[in-house]
Amino acid sequence: MKLRRTAAAATVVLALAVTATACGKEGSPDDDKNEGPKLSYKVNSAADVKDSPVWSKVKGGKIKIGTKADQPGLGYEDPGTEKRSGFDVEIARMIAADLGFDEKHIEWKTVPSEARETQISSGGVDFYVGTYTINDERKKQVDFGGPYYLAGQDLLVKKDSDIKGPEDLKGKKVCSAAGSTPLKRIKEKKYGVAKAKSQQGYQLCVQDLNNGQVDAVTTDDSILKGYAAQNDGLKVLGKPFSEEPYGIGLKKGDKALRDAVNDAIEAHQKNGDWKKAYDATLGKSGLAAPTPPQVDRY
Ligand code: GLU
């Protein structure tokens, strides 16, 4: 336990050092409370997405970005400093920079899985980056840029658990987040779970697992790895049983913004920012860097 905690602490120190050297560059004001361990991205001050209703409304002001706050490595907000970090946060910063918004003109909003469609449709957020699986059901309500990452549903269990894969879930209690694809999937008859407990976020599920209230937590492997890195008694099984392509949640029908977001993802994959962001975040929880997925301009 000691060792892993020390390694995690070293990671934070390293990340902070990276931040320190990145300070002062364009798009990374060092006096912003939002600033977390991050890289910096050149802000496109000539950005023009005038055919986008959402962009036209917010240009010159602040852009509201929805994300998670309890998913280390992906979307995490330090409760003490309120600094945001993680791969999703970096992807959001890259996109915001290309749309003409520096860090000071980003308003972060924590939005749990269950509230995503409502927040995007109502304009509560201008775009959303938070382990958000692209699927046809959701496309009835929102549009998606990307995908920018491919995850898969997996299981987090205690190290001494007799659960070795989804086939061992019969009669077990499993926790996942309300409004998520993993919760929906695990309720399918074939898994035979005794109880599918829903929580507002995965951090709460991890607490339930540590307290013995559930036998497993299920969601994307990318998310679970972050918790395993922080909880020495827990492990991810490493047998993904679904495909979860992550997209940028956008207001339905704003094609110009979707095109601009897709352009941004492609540009940052090409210039190496995607890989750098991955290595500085998810890569630290032991996931090998995958090849970035192909953007789907549907
Ligand atoms: N990617 C899955 C989903 O969008 C699970 C992660 C999450 O809840 O954000 O539902």
pLDDT band at 9 (very low <50, low <70, confident <90, very high): very low
Beta bridge partners of 142: 251
Ligand 1 and 132: CB distance under 6 A? yes
Provide the pLDDT for residue 84. Answer: 96
Return the domain boundaries, the chain: 9-27+34-151+244-284, 153-236
User: Ligand 1 centre and the CA of 31: distance in Å?
Assistant: 32
Token pair 């992550």 is found at 246
Atom of ligand 1 nearest to the CA of 244: 1
Q: Which token pair is 105?
A: 């003109």
Cα–Cα distance for residue pair 261/250, rounded to 1 Å: 9
pLDDT 10s digits, 210-248: 999 999 999 999 999 999 999 999 999 999 999 999 999
Which residues have C-beta within 8 Å of that of residue 44, sequence separation ≥ 6?
97, 98, 99, 100
Ligand 1 and 180: CB distance under 6 A? yes
For 117-129, give the secondary structure using H, E and C: HHHHHHCCCCEEC
Domain 9-27+34-151+244-284 and domain 153-236, same fold? Reply is yes
Is residue 13 predicted with pLDDT exceeding 60? no
β 216-220/173-177 pair status: parallel
DSSP output for 257-291: HHHHHHHHHHHHHHTSHHHHHHHHTGGGGTPPPPP
Atom of ligand 1 nearest to the CA of 71: 9
Tell the CATH superfamily of the 9-27+34-151+244-284 domain.
Periplasmic binding protein-like II (3.40.190.10)
- The predicted model gives 249-266 an average pLDDT of 98
Provide the pLDDT for residue 187. Answer: 98
- The predicted model gives 175-200 an average pLDDT of 98
DSSP output for 2-66: HHHHHHHHHHHHHHHHHHHHHTTSTT--TT-TT--S-------TT---TT-HHHHHHTTS-EEEE
User: Ligand 1 centre and the CA of 267: distance in Å?
Assistant: 25
Q: Are 239 and 202 in contact (CB under 8 A)?
A: no
Q: Which CATH class is domain 153-236?
A: alpha beta
Cα–Cα distance for residue pair 198/196, rounded to 1 Å: 6
Q: Are 102 and 112 in contact (CB under 8 A)?
A: no
User: Ligand 1 centre and the CA of 21: distance in Å?
Assistant: 33
Provide the pLDDT for residue 25. Answer: 36
Query: CB-hemisphere CA count at 13 Å for 61?
Result: 10
Average pLDDT value for the chain: 89
